[in-house]
Chains A and B, each alone.
Chain A
Amino acid sequence: MGHSHNTIAFHQDKCDGCGECMTVCAGAKSGTADTLHSRLKIVPSIAANDSFELALCRQCGDPKCVLNCPSGSLTKNHKTGVVPWDAEKCVDCLLCTVGCAYGGITYNAAAGHVMKCDMCDGDPACVKSCPTGALEYNRSAEIYNNYGELEDLFVPGLAACQGCNSELLIRHTMRKIGSNAVVATPPGCIAGMGTVGFNGKTGSKIPVFHPLLTNTASMLAGAKRYYNRIGRDVTMVALAGDGGTVDAGFQSLSGAAERGEQMLYICVDNEGYMNTGMQRSGSTSFGSWTSTTPVGETLHGKTQDAKNMPVIMMMHNCEYVATASLAFMDDYYEKLDKALAAAKRGMAYLHVYSPCPTGWRIPSESTNEVCRKAVETNFVTLWEFAPDEGLRFTHSTDDPLPVEEYLNLSGKYRHLDDAQLTHIENSVERKVAFLNGFMLATSDDGAESLAQ
């Protein structure tokens, strides 16, 4: 119980039906190229031309094949997550295949037995063989397992809105950073949900303070210099919202970045002042409904574009700047590692996109889907920057989904007309083009391809 497992993910949009995975699976598991022996089955979709579907064991958490097995030959290994099949004990009754609604355990008439995927001991052959990236071995479970064992540095029962993933973000982040840290949470959702505490009681197990909206970076800079002077290496962390970063907090942050103050500054961007009544901020995107950019006869949401804060921070030549999204947890953790190393030298800035179920009008269960679609449509791009290495995308911006697939998920864009949509499409393209140009100019890879 309480253990997560890596999975084989299927990105249906990338599958071209080549069938290489089946050939490789049959080879790895049965020593033949005959795809009849493949544990995974790619089938053509009847609903859409040139589209494919997958039948594969899901290694269910509560597997019905196991409950249906009368001989004890199927079990669930809670350590590896795999549902192994023991040929020794199997009596070939096929009752397991009755229990599976996915076609994940099937009868192989040629072999006279059932067969199923065993994830190749954590190194699935099918994934390695997939030429289009449609099959992916998703290892984010390891992150949850490893960090789940570390101490949670916030109290239980923080009062974030239902579906808000900022809580997930701060709990993960501080587990990773550990207790040798001082945290600043300026006015905003993260302070408001109780991290600084209630009624004289603290909301976290480490020193946490509540600066003004305007001076987060200055206060952390001062605290850090003091610790440096007394010879203690303590990590300074800001967990700020976009209001406290992009608008009112900007002057002090810009100054601290320019001076190279040593800290990790995390901006959790939900595109507005969400805990004070959903007012617009400098980070609110074009066309968004907020309480101060209402939708009526004359106004149709915000009429200006958002400031591109991570790019502005990159222009300060910080030690490290990156964008992140919690739908890509493994990516976030890699960046957090680098940011922590950089914060020992100077300013490290992480900009995390954080959809707000309450203020954006999205169902609380789809926050992660909104995060994911934002990236897959290029509305949000995932990249990192370091002065010596330049800019590098950590998620490809090629072949994005139409931006509407992202916009349609949030009520705050419900009113958009064609002209507004075109404006957003253009600005998404422009932002990507700018970053691409910057990448070519700054990174080694980019410089190489420019030279060619």
Chain B
Amino acid sequence: MEQTKYLIAGCSHAALSALNSIRMLDQDGSLTLVTKDDHLPYSPTVLPYIVSGQSKPEKVKLRDDEFFAQNKVNFISGAGLSTLDVDNNSVTLQNGQEWQYEKLLLATGAAPAIPPIPGLTDTPYHVLRTMDDAVNLHAALESAKSAVVLGGGLIGMHAAENLIKVGVQVTIVEMRPQVLPGYFDAEAAKIIEQTFIENGVAMRIGNTVVGAAPDGEGAKVSLDSGDEITADLLLVCTGVAPVISYLEDGPVETDQGILVNDCMATNIANIWAAGDVAQAVNFYSGEKSVGGILPAAVEQGRIAGMSMINDPAINPYPGGVPLNTYGFFGNQAISVGVSDENALPKDTEVLLNVNEEEMTYQKILIGEGCLLGISGINTDFDPGIMWQLVLQRVDLEPVKEEFLSNPTDTGRDLMSRTWR
């Protein structure tokens, strides 16, 4: 059996961020990175640009062999975790190797969740999570003239835009009454939907897919409205689920994802989890929930790494905050924190600024003098600063007037004072 001090499963944002924290304090301890994919590290977020051809697989690698050599990382790709033996502190990989660890980080991310639509399993469809998915989809575009995208979340919207840009006729079907729920309220979502329509995307919002079937080389989906849509290509983007199959029914506690405390430690000694695979506390509700965004994976990975190395500078995870920067057809939408006041107490202050002509939108939510959320389309504010204002519960009372009229400069002023 092979031995390693640190074993990290996965090589995406959470994993690389943890690696960074560990190497800050321990430059020599043996470190092994194992991943299911047979590629150098890349981000799932960049895949829509591979699909469209705007970027190429070899251009988007996040780390290379030179980095691994310099940082004394033993990188094993194409061999995911297959089982875990916590009594032995060991794992088996899909290539049959056995590894014993002192400390293990599970950063295996998420994978597409396929909805139980009758007929779907017999129908050819694409998903978008891995480099191979993206390369396949890009290849399929050569012959495809039309596509149906199931799901108006971040991934579906990104993919749809990139498809229409290369000349594919696209329909988006979203079951809920708006696109991008959780990041934007209905009004902002409307602006985004409208832009998609103007750019030629067919939007079927509030429609549920009730069946799917093959249609020649392509697919046919039927909606609850009775309509049927046929397309050369079917793309399923209806959500993701944490990759935890290697845990089977073992002792590591899971719910939707792997349950972790505020240092990203699981219930089992020497095992941590971070990123899309983890179910960590939410900043607002205090309940544990799965996240699925890149900045949270980076943050959780950083804390997990610090905890694994016993870094005395560690600060516990403050909780997940919804964050989103979303570019569409040359517009920029940004959302930090809560965007929908309906879920908040009645006395929440709401400042809304919409200019339909210039297509700008901004909403600021303040509760008990603190920023709860800010979202905008084509308005500028620094999301990183807003995130800190939320997390640090900075008292905005003394500067409220200025903040509401100019969140950018006021935020910079507040943060400069804090950090200088």
A88 surroundings in chain B (CB, below 8 A): 59
Q: Whole-angstrom distance between the alpha carbons of A69 and B49 in the complex?
A: 14
Flag whether A67 is at the interface (Cβ < 8 A). Answer: yes
> Which residues of chain B have C-beta atoms less than 8 A from A102's C-beta?
384-385, 415-416, 419
Chain A contacts for B59, CB-based, 8 A = 71-72, 88-89
Chain B residues with CB under 8 A of A54: 416, 420
Q: Which chain B residues lie closer than 8 Å to A95 at the CB level? A: 45, 294-295, 325
A101, CB-defined interface residue at 8 Å: yes
Report how far A100 CA is from B62 CA in the complex, Å: 19
Q: Do A101 and B385 contact each other (CB < 8 Å), given the known contacts A94-B325, A94-B332?
A: yes
* Contact call A72/B417, Cβ cutoff below 8 A: no
Q: Is the CB of A92 within 8 A of B383?
A: no
Q: Is B384 in contact with A91, judged by CB distance below 8 angstroms?
A: no
| B60 and A71 within 8 A (CB) | yes
Bound form: Cα–Cα A41–B416 in Å: 11
Contact assessment for B399 and A46 in the assembled complex, using a CB-CB cutoff below 8 Å:
yes
A81 to chain B, nearest CB (A): 17
Q: Which of A10, A67, A94, A112: most chain B CB closer than 10 A?
A: A67
B412 within 8 A of A: yes
A305 within 8 A of B: no
Partner of A62, one of B20, B49, B325, B332: B20
- The answer to whether A101 touches B327, judged by C-beta atoms less than 8 angstroms apart, is no
- C-alpha spacing A64/B20, complex, angstroms: 11
Q: Does B308 contact A (CB under 8 A)?
A: no
Other-chain residue from B20, B55, B410, B416 in contact with A71 (beta carbon distance below 8 A): B55
Indicate whether A43 reaches chain B with its CB closer than 8 angstroms: yes
Residues 40-81 of A, flagged 1 when their CB comes within 8 A of B and 0 if not, give 010111110000011100000010100111111000000000
Cα of A348 to Cα of B416 in the assembled complex, Å: 43
Q: Which of B61, B295, B336 contacts A99 (CB 8 A)?
A: B295
Q: Given the complex of chains A and B, what is the CA–CA distance between A43 and B384 in angstroms?
A: 17
Identify whether the interface residues of B are mostly helix, strand, loop, or mixed: helix
| Interface membership of A286, Cβ < 8 A | no
Contact pattern, B 32-63, Cβ under 8 Å of A = 1, otherwise 0 = 00000000000111100100001100011110
Name B299-356 residues within 8 Å CB distance of A: 302, 323, 325, 327, 330, 332, 334, 336
Which residue from B55, B384, B398, B409 sits with its C-beta under 8 Å from A100?
B384
Check B13 for interface membership: any CB of A closer than 8 A: yes
B52 to chain A, nearest CB (A): 10
What distance in Å separates the Cβ of A22 from its nearest Cβ neighbour in chain B?
Answer: 13
Residues of A within 8 A of B62 (CB): 69-70, 72
Q: State A412–B202 Cα separation when bound (angstroms).
A: 75
Q: For residue B146, give the distance in angstroms from its CB to the closest CB of chain A.
A: 25
B382 at the interface (CB under 8 A from A): yes
**What separation, in Å, do the CA atoms of A107 and B327 have in the docked complex?**
11
Alpha-carbon distance between A97 and B49 when the two chains are bound, in angstroms: 19
Closest CB-CB distance, B314 to chain A, in whole Å? Answer: 14
A216–B224 CA distance with the chains assembled, in angstroms: 97
Residues of A within 8 A of B327 (CB): 92-94
**Distance in Å: Cβ of A99 to nearest Cβ of chain B:** 6
Q: Assess the A101–B384 pair: CB atoms within 8 A.
A: yes
Known: A46-B402, A93-B325, A98-B323. A67 touches B384 (CB 8 A): no
* In the bound complex, CA of A85 to CA of B100 (Å): 39
Within 8 Å CB of A55, what residues of B?
A: 382, 412, 415-416
Closest residue on chain A to residue B419 by CB atoms:
A102
Residues of A within 8 A of B412 (CB): 41, 43, 53, 55, 103
Query: Does residue A109 face the partner (Cβ distance < 8 Å to B)?
Result: yes
The reply to whether B384 and A97 form a contact with Cβ atoms under 8 Å apart is yes
B298: A residues at CB distance < 8 A: 64, 67-68, 99
Q: A64-B298, A67-B298 are in contact. Are A98 and B383 (CB under 8 A)?
A: yes
Name the distance in Å between A103's Cβ and chain B's nearest Cβ: 4
Known A-B contacts A62-B20, A95-B294, A102-B415; A70 and B43 likewise in contact (beta carbons under 8 Å): yes
Cα-based distance from A361 to B399 in the complex (angstroms): 37
Instruction: List 9 additional A-B contacts (Cβ < 8 Å) besides A94-B325, A98-B323, A101-B385.
Output: A43-B416, A46-B413, A53-B413, A54-B420, A72-B62, A95-B45, A95-B325, A100-B382, A103-B384
Residues of chain B touching chain A, judged by Cβ–Cβ distance below 8 Å, are 13, 16-17, 20, 24, 27, 43-46, 49, 54-55, 59-62, 294-295, 298, 302, 323, 325, 327, 330, 332, 334, 336, 378, 380, 382-385, 387-388, 398-399, 402, 408-413, 415-417, 419-420
A-B contact pairs, 26 of them (CB 8 A): A10-B420, A12-B420, A41-B409, A41-B412, A46-B413, A55-B416, A64-B384, A70-B46, A71-B43, A72-B62, A91-B46, A91-B54, A93-B45, A93-B46, A95-B294, A97-B382, A97-B384, A98-B295, A98-B383, A100-B384, A100-B385, A101-B388, A102-B385, A102-B416, A103-B382, A103-B415
The 4 tightest CB contacts between A and B, nearest first, are A70-B43, A53-B416, A94-B325, A70-B45
**What is the interface of chain A, defined by CB distance below 8 A to chain B?**
1, 10, 12, 41, 43-47, 53-55, 62, 64, 67-72, 88-89, 91-95, 97-103, 106-107, 109, 112
